[in-house]
């Protein structure tokens, strides 16, 4: 989930490199903490291109062995669900309690359930 604010000019101009007062485009950074874990969003940074973004991400976000792998992506290339984190988009999953294991009553003495 990007944290880029839609109102941020740096996010908007990401596709047109250098169009707003020469600011490097914004990248979002994802780090895999160790083998077996997902990449997790850790923050953002500015870089002139993809390779520089990876190098900067190493220096800014992994100075103490915080990661074994880094993804960077232009903030402007991220499509997000909606401006509101509490959007009704997620409402349909709210009333489907039968999707959870605790919905089903099983006698306590049945083993391994």
Partner 1 sequence: MTTQVNDNRFDEAALQEQFDATIEAKDRIEPRDWMPEAYRKTLIRQVAQHAHSEIIGMQPEGNWISRAPSLRRKAILLAKVQDEAGHGLYLYSAAETLGVTRNELTEKLVAGKQKYSSIFNYPTLSYTDVGTIGWLVDGAAICNQVPLCRTSFGPYGRAMIRICKEESFHQRQGYELLMTMMRGTEAQREMVQESVNRFWWPALMMFGPPDDNSPNTEQSMAWGIKTHTNDELRQKFVDMSVPQAEALGVTFPDENLKWNEERGHYDFSTPNWDEFWAVVKGDGPCNEQRLNHRKRAWDEGAWVREAALAFAENQTAEAAATPTAADATPAAGVDTTTPEETAK
Contact region for partner 1 (CB under 8 A) — 13-21, 91-99, 104-112?
A: 13-21
Q: What is the 3-state secondary structure (H, E, C) of the chain?
A: CCCCCCCCHHHHHHHCCCCCCCCCCEEEEEEECCCCCCEEEEEEEECCCHHHHHHHHHHHHCCCCCCCEEEEEEHHHCCCCCCCCCCHHHHHHCCCHHHCHHHCCCCCCCCCC
Q: Is 32 in the site for partner 1 (CB under 8 A)?
A: yes
- 59 or 109: CB nearest partner 1: 59
**How many residues sit in the footprint of partner 1 (CB under 8 A)?**
40
Q: With contact defined as beta carbons under 8 Å apart, do 70 and 58 qualify?
A: yes
Exactly one of 34, 37, 40, 49 binds partner 1 (CB under 8 A); that residue is: 49
31 binds partner 1 (CB under 8 A): no
Using the rule CB under 8 A, is 35 a contact of partner 1? Answer: no
Give the other-Cβ count within 10 Å of 50's Cβ. 12
Per-residue interface string for the shown chain with partner 1, residues 57-76, x marking contact by CB under 8 A: --xx--xx----xxx-----
Can you give the binding site for partner 1, defined by CB under 8 A?
3-10, 17-18, 20-24, 26, 32, 39, 43-46, 48-49, 51-52, 54, 59-60, 63-64, 69-71, 80, 82-86
């Amino acid at each position: 989930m990007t944290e880029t604010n839609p109102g941020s000019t740096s996010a908007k101009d990401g596709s047109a490199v250098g169009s707003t007062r020469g600011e490097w485009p914004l990248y979002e950074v994802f780090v895999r903490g160790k083998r077996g874990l997902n990449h997790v969003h850790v923050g953002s940074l500015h870089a002139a291109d993809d390779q520089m973004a990876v190098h900067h991400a190493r220096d800014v976000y992994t100075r103490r062995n915080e990661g074994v792998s880094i993804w960077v992506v232009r903030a402007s290339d991220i499509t997000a669900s909606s401006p509101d984190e509490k959007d009704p988009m997620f409402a349909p999953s709210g009333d489907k309690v039968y999707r959870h294991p605790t919905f089903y009553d099983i006698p306590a003495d049945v083993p391994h359930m």
